[in-house]
Structure 1
Amino acid sequence: MAALIRLLWPGGATARWMLISASMALAAVVLGVVLLAVSGWLIAASALAGIGALAVLDIFAPGAIIRAAAVGRTATRYLERLLGHEATFRQLTEIRIRAFSRLLAMPVERLEALGRGDTLTRLTRDVDVLDHMFPRLVLPSVAASGATLLAVVVALVLAPPAGVALVASLAGGGTLVLIVGVGMARGPGRMLAQATPRMRSATAEWLQGLAELISVGQAGRRARDVMLRVEEHLRAQLAQRRVEATMQAGLALAGYLGFWLVLLIGLKLHVDGLLSAPVAAGLALACLALVDAWLPLAASWSFFETCRQAAGRIDALGGSASPRPGAIRELPDFSVTVRDLAFRYPGAVDPVVSSCDLDIAQGEHMLVQGPSGAGKTTLGKLLAGVLTPDSGTVSLGGIDLRRLDETFLRGQVGFLSQSPMLFNDTLATNLRLGAPAATDDQVLLVLEAVGLSGFVDDLPNRLESWIGEHGRDVSGGEGRRLALARLLLADFPVLILDEPMAGVDAATAAAISERLAPLLAGRSVVVLSHDPLVLPAYDRRYSFTGGRIAPA
């Protein structure tokens, strides 16, 4: 529950929109109750007048009330939807900001793990689930409980026994049904939370690999595996629907019990001369209108457990982040020292990196050469602090990376991965991620250095051209060079470049290498590559094979 409050507690402006929206929802339900209650009073009074039991009947006042309630109910319902959407979108913005704030506080190593398996799918779904909590759970609950409270007050004034019956049956019994139902929904809620991402992941993997599966004759078998996940998801949904149906039956029982109790008590009070027949009919029909307001709460509160678990998982992202001890934020220099470095991926038999030692002076350029699959990328991630070694140390300026503040470290070491991320935004925005204050001239300078000045000239809006989601509008080689330009623009004092010239022909790579020299001067640079012939100039060369590094 605490996680729900931390993630969903609205800011000032959002809270105001929510309050106005909830007021409209409450007004819509209250007007619906008034509409039915006054209609019941008018029908009963008309019947009595028709048989001569009432000498005088004013139909104009109740008729006006009925018309006003009908129009007002329609208007407030529309305003509730309109304002509720605004409040929901504002809260969704806050939820996403809070979720991403937790992600930003995590070490890069854990962030990379989120992209594997169904973790990212589950995180996305959890945010979407919380997005529906206000319109689906909060608004109906506020409207139903507020209208019931007002009806109880009116009933206690007009007919105290009827008010007590309403409290005992609908308010008390309905609340008890919801409390028991929330407990019953916990199991199905957990099942659904686990089954949904598994089904989505299995379906996505099957579709992505369908061509290969067909070629090896395994498409049918994998399709059956997907269907098993679908059936698991359907079983979880069915279990949740059973709980919802049980809660709805309980609410209906409590509500209709209240209706009959209020009706019978009203008739008894009328016989005793303590209450007029039209008022008794109006109270009974008001109770009946309240039943309609309570019934949707079965679906709302069966959804509560799903929301609670989603909030718990998102909240745990920040709570489990391991801060670096010491949090040092200054360095004497930018030399890189590696001592007895070792790393093995979980579940692997052999280490990827074993007993590595390396010294890189400030401003020195070094090439680490090795065949594809030798583990150069893993070594680069260790040098950049993206991965944490199993043993040994990587030091920057003589200080172990694990003692440096995470944010400070990210500002000192730039890492060019083999799969750089480009965002669905303009070219300039993608390049300025690490240097927001960079001018257009500075951006164009680094683009020229990486051989993309002609590419920019051909774009319809030059630097303001959009490059598509994941950079889909650029080739792989162009995307790699854009990421390299982004690192150069950010002016990192230490650069780890993993296959910087991949996807570039030899002539272009040679020209780029020559233009990069002045931009790399003074920086500590480690280049990881299997091809030393098309790389920027380096001071020393090392080979990396079998998890070990040695002078070449």
Structure 2
Amino acid sequence: MTEPRRPVVRLRSLLNSRLGGWWGAGVLGFITLFSAVALLAVSGWFISAAALAGLTLAGAAFDIFRPAAVIRLLALTRTVGRYTERLTSHHAALGLLLDLRSRLFRQVSQARRLPLRTPGAMHRLVADIDLLDQFPLRVVLPWAWASLLLVMLLVWLALLDQTLLLAALPGLLLAWLSPWLGYWRGGRLAREEVERAELRREYLLDSLALLTPLLIWQRWGERSAAFARQDRAQLAQQDRQLRLGSRIALLQQWALAGSLMAVLWHGWPLLTETGLSVPMLLAVVLTLLGLSEALLPLAGSFVALGLSQAARDRLNVLAGDPPPPPPPRPQPAGPWRLQMQELTVRWPGALNGPERINLQLEQGAVLHLQGASGGGKSTLLQLLAGEPLPFSGECHLNGQPLAHWDLHKTIGYLPQDIDIFNLPLAANLRLGNLQASDEQLWQVLQEVALADWVRAHPQQLQLLPGEVGSAVSGGQARRIALARLLLAERPILLLDEPFAGLDAVTREQVMAALVRRQRHGLLVIASHQAIHAERLQRLRISD
């Protein structure tokens, strides 16, 4: 019996990625908050002390220069610290997201546990990973800053007078501990929001994909009304989260107000009994007021924690331990023959899709799927790629149903929505084949007509295409994803709009390379562009 593997994503280990950046953000954030609280306290002390000095004979001996310099220093530190802390923390957060995306994509894609439908599955590798930065940014750092400032305040009060410490302690502890009242409720609301957000997003994307048929059949009004109901439910869910945070923040304010009143009540007699000065008592009061800037962010921390926990659990289900393996299936071998007979495919709830498809492809054949958007070309490719879609009719590979075979090393699928990471080009390509040499990388770049462009770039294979290919054109990003797929060397290729964004000359060059590479396999392409190739078969799919 094998021991289960550890979870892929663990919240407490998130800070290990970009550790230096998180330490820098923590130190800078604390300096910023300390400067803000100290600025308020020192300013209050200075103004009151200067006023009292002016009313007495000590006014001539009162030093205004050093306190004024300290105030200017604190103001400058607060401004610069806040700016640099934002830069440092966001740089660390974006680096964390980059590390998580590339690591999880590699693990999930190699294990082939990622469903092929983009709206449902890729949401976890994008939106769910984005939620994980809530844990360091809105949970760990705010609690560390608030706790450290609170300890420093309590130490200062103890040094001034034990009476002030005992007076302020209950209210301060209540303000610090009250966010825990939202632990269970906030976590539950956060998990519900994650689920609602995914359902809402999938419904929207499905509606947009079916826009033309819905308009033709006059069903768009009904569909948009259903989406509006989901949108209102999502907003109501977010409103419940805000209300929870507001109630906790109100309790914190009452606790701080009680602490402030207790300090004034017990501090007033100390002015004559122990010689505590009015400016120093005012500095204590203003410090309590300034502490609210550090304590208030804690009110929403457990909603943020729940969002990160929900994202962690969903990602661990996706990329963690796989379900019990099904009975082993054989892997097909050439010569390749794909047959469809009266094949009809539908996504659950879809209004249209490919119907009654009849064709036969022999080894070396090229199939071009044509048809209007929304007609079902992508649906057919997803079925061939192994997506568990309901269908009728027959679909056989080498004389056996698709479900009979283990297609993991047989079929390569390029969906419409591609995944490019802000990693060097070589690292992006090697996601398809970790052992690929530089020569293989240059060869596949030549086949997709990118080799000359890469050689002309100063960084060549180390160039950064940007997150989701944002630093390159759409056609270049799509060819990078195609090159990564070609490195996997699958005998059957299913390509959904591989020529989007390409001119006619480049399209023909890439098409010729694909035909040469697949001369001993099968090539199925869904594309709106014209295609010219030997042994080409065309299949028109209508709405």
TM (normalized to structure 2)? Answer: 0.67
- 1:300 deviates by 3.7
- 1:25 maps to a residue whose letter is G
Structure 1 residue corresponding to 2:22, chosen from 13, 18, 31: 18
- Which whole-Å CA distance do the structure 1 matches of 2:283 and 2:494 have between them? 79
- Structure 2 residue 142 is matched with structure 1 residue 140: yes
Cross-structure match for 1:155: 157
Assess if the C-alpha contact under 8 Å between 1:424 and 1:471 holds in 2.
no
Assess if the C-alpha contact under 8 Å between 1:103 and 1:111 holds in 2.
no
- Structure 2 residue 258 is matched with structure 1 residue 240: no
Please list the CA deviations of residues 232-262 of structure 1 after superposition, one character each: whole Å capped at 9, or x if unmatched: 0111011111101101101111111111222
- Which whole-Å CA distance do the structure 2 matches of 1:515 and 1:346 have between them? 33
1:38-437 equivalences in 2 (<5 Å): 38-52=42-56, 58-60=62-64, 61-108=66-113, 110-113=114-117, 115=118, 118-121=120-123, 123-170=125-172, 172-273=173-274, 275-322=276-323, 365=363, 413-415=410-412, 437=438
Assess if the C-alpha contact under 8 Å between 1:423 and 1:471 holds in 2.
no
- 1:22 deviates by 1.3
1:521-532 equivalences in 2 (<5 Å): 525=521
Note closer, same or farther for the CA distance 1:142–1:205 as it changes in structure 2 (3 Å cut): same
Q: Secondary structure at the match of 2:218?
A: coil
Please list the CA deviations of residues 78-119 of structure 1 after superposition, one character each: whole Å capped at 9, or x if unmatched: 2222322322222222232343244235435x4325x25x44
Assess if the C-alpha contact under 8 Å between 1:137 and 1:304 holds in 2.
yes
- 2:224 maps to a residue whose letter is A
- Structure 2 residue 33 is matched with structure 1 residue 33: no
Note closer, same or farther for the CA distance 1:88–1:493 as it changes in structure 2 (3 Å cut): closer
Please list the CA deviations of residues 54-83 of structure 1 after superposition, one character each: whole Å capped at 9, or x if unmatched: 687523233332222222222222222232
Please say which structure displays the higher CA radius of gyration: 1
* Unmatched segments (≥5 aa) in structure 1: 339-343, 349-363, 389-393, 448-455, 504-511, 538-552
Note closer, same or farther for the CA distance 1:221–1:385 as it changes in structure 2 (3 Å cut): closer
- Which whole-Å CA distance do the structure 1 matches of 2:83 and 2:497 have between them? 57
Assess if the C-alpha contact under 8 Å between 2:512 and 2:533 holds in 1.
no
- Which whole-Å CA distance do the structure 1 matches of 2:497 and 2:127 have between them? 35
* Unmatched segments (≥5 aa) in structure 2: 1-6, 339-344, 350-361, 371-376, 390-395, 458-464, 501-509, 526-531, 536-543
- Which whole-Å CA distance do the structure 1 matches of 2:442 and 2:514 have between them? 17
- 2:264 maps to a residue whose letter is L
Percent of aligned positions that are identical:
24
Q: Secondary structure at the match of 2:89?
A: helix
- 1:174 maps to a residue whose letter is A
- Which whole-Å CA distance do the structure 2 matches of 1:414 and 1:30 have between them? 58
- Which whole-Å CA distance do the structure 2 matches of 1:381 and 1:187 have between them? 35
- 1:536 deviates by 7.3
Assess if the C-alpha contact under 8 Å between 2:249 and 2:299 holds in 1.
yes
- Which whole-Å CA distance do the structure 2 matches of 1:382 and 1:347 have between them? 13
- Which whole-Å CA distance do the structure 2 matches of 1:59 and 1:234 have between them? 56
Assess if the C-alpha contact under 8 Å between 1:42 and 1:59 holds in 2.
no
- 1:144 maps to a residue whose letter is A
- 1:33 deviates by 2.0
- 1:140 maps to a residue whose letter is P
- Which whole-Å CA distance do the structure 2 matches of 1:293 and 1:501 have between them? 52
Assess if the C-alpha contact under 8 Å between 2:385 and 2:412 holds in 1.
yes
- Which whole-Å CA distance do the structure 2 matches of 1:219 and 1:185 have between them? 36
Q: Secondary structure at the match of 1:185?
A: helix
Note closer, same or farther for the CA distance 1:50–1:174 as it changes in structure 2 (3 Å cut): same
- Which whole-Å CA distance do the structure 2 matches of 1:514 and 1:207 have between them? 34
Assess if the C-alpha contact under 8 Å between 1:99 and 1:315 holds in 2.
no
Assess if the C-alpha contact under 8 Å between 1:383 and 1:496 holds in 2.
no
- Which whole-Å CA distance do the structure 1 matches of 2:187 and 2:498 have between them? 53
Note closer, same or farther for the CA distance 1:98–1:274 as it changes in structure 2 (3 Å cut): farther
- 1:216 deviates by 2.1
- Which whole-Å CA distance do the structure 1 matches of 2:97 and 2:411 have between them? 33
Assess if the C-alpha contact under 8 Å between 1:33 and 1:289 holds in 2.
yes
Count residues with an aligned counterpart.
481
- Which whole-Å CA distance do the structure 2 matches of 1:78 and 1:445 have between them? 45
- Which whole-Å CA distance do the structure 2 matches of 1:265 and 1:59 have between them? 30
Please list the CA deviations of residues 19-44 of structure 1 after superposition, one character each: whole Å capped at 9, or x if unmatched: 12211111111122222222232333
Note closer, same or farther for the CA distance 1:327–1:153 as it changes in structure 2 (3 Å cut): farther
Note closer, same or farther for the CA distance 1:48–1:463 as it changes in structure 2 (3 Å cut): closer
Cross-structure match for 2:342: none
Note closer, same or farther for the CA distance 1:520–1:127 as it changes in structure 2 (3 Å cut): closer
- Which whole-Å CA distance do the structure 2 matches of 1:87 and 1:148 have between them? 26
- 1:161 deviates by 2.4
- 1:157 deviates by 1.1
Please list the CA deviations of residues 426-484 of structure 1 after superposition, one character each: whole Å capped at 9, or x if unmatched: xx98998555534698559867xxxxxxxx69x9959989998999659xxxx99x96x
Cross-structure match for 1:452: none
Note closer, same or farther for the CA distance 1:31–1:235 as it changes in structure 2 (3 Å cut): same
- Which whole-Å CA distance do the structure 2 matches of 1:395 and 1:43 have between them? 86
Assess if the C-alpha contact under 8 Å between 1:42 and 1:278 holds in 2.
yes
- 1:202 deviates by 2.9
TM (normalized to structure 1)? Answer: 0.66
- Which whole-Å CA distance do the structure 1 matches of 2:121 and 2:227 have between them? 18
Assess if the C-alpha contact under 8 Å between 1:327 and 1:403 holds in 2.
no
